[in-house]
Amino acid sequence: MKKTVFTGSGVAIITPFTKDGVNYDELGKMLEYHIANKTDAVIICGTTGEASTMPDEEHCAAIKYTVDKVAGRIPVIAGTGSNDTPHAIKLSKFAQSAGADAILTVTPYYNKATQKGLIEHFSAIANSIDIPVILYNVPGRTGCNIKPETLKELAKIDNIVAVKEASGDLSQVAKIASICGDELDIYSGNDDQILPVLSLGGKGVISVVANVAPVETHNLVMNFLEGNVQEAIKLQLGMIELCDALFCEVNPIPVKTALGLMGWNTGDLRLPLTSMEPNTLAQLKTALANYGLLK
């Protein structure tokens, strides 16, 4: 059995920006907020953090800042994915040197890959570092799905320890759990499927909703794992409207907007992401108010 990076709720944290770069003062406040509010791990420079628009210097600086600020209190997982294997290796090596506890690396996008290509891509990344690797399967964004049999092969590599499964296909999650067993931890990559993934043996979630509701997301996972299933069901069903609103436009547009509405100094979204449309903004405000996050 491999060592688990974290159990519970890992926040896929947004990156607050100024006009010139990362707003480190605000990022620091957010990190302290999450540590104080039961978040079990932080994922920096992922999709929700707009990593795809961050130059390498900025990307690496944000990882280093987060590691130093968190100072070992919870695991820090660095997003280091790329559709260019040498680039992903470069970012992953930096994350290790900066003190990250693990990396999260996404399937290649646009150029995509065959299953053989995925094995070679992820193997090259994992073999370039010593820290744990969490694979990120999100075919809706990348056009590329990691098949369960491919994950079984990749799990033979010692430091490939987990997958963030955001395919939305619970049958696929079940097959991964069935054929990979203790060799690969599973994290839900969809906030509306935390409970179903846990019921198939998942260890938690890498969450967008946790940006605005960290305690509730942590409690959902822990209630289920501690046997309080009815409370976990209540928490999962209670956040469905919020989940829908946070994904009514492409992530991270709604969640960054939500945090701004809640008083955080998030800064602007970077193009090609733009501000929300009036109808979806109204949906978001209603969901936040109904969840008790806005007055």
Residue-range domain boundaries for the chain: 8-228
* Amino acid 54: pLDDT: 97
Q: 134 - beta bridge partners?
A: 104, 162
- Report the candidate in 221, 145, 150, 157 with the shortest Cα–Cα distance to residue 183: 157
Q: What is the model's pLDDT at position 295?
A: 77
Q: Among 3.90.10.10, 3.30.930.10, 3.20.20.70, 3.30.540.10, name the CATH number for the domain at 8-228.
A: 3.20.20.70
pLDDT for 242 equals: 98
Which residue is catalytic, options 38, 64, 69, 136?
Answer: 136
Q: Which of 38, 64, 69, 164 is catalytic?
A: 164
* Residue that is written with structure tokens 């960054």 in the block: 256
User: Is 38 among the catalytic positions?
Assistant: no
Structure confidence at residue 1 (pLDDT): 74
Q: What is the pTM of this model?
A: 0.96
- Confidence (pLDDT) at 75: 98
The 8 Å CB, 24+ separation contacts for 167-176 are 167/137, 167/138, 167/139, 167/140, 168/140, 168/193, 170/196, 170/197, 170/200, 172/148, 173/197, 173/200, 173/202, 174/200, 175/148, 176/148, 176/151
30 CA to centre of own chain: 16
pLDDT for 16 equals: 98
Averaged pLDDT in 10-residue chunks for the chain of 295 residues: 94 97 98 98 97 97 98 98 97 98 97 96 98 97 96 98 97 98 97 98 98 98 98 98 98 98 97 97 98 92
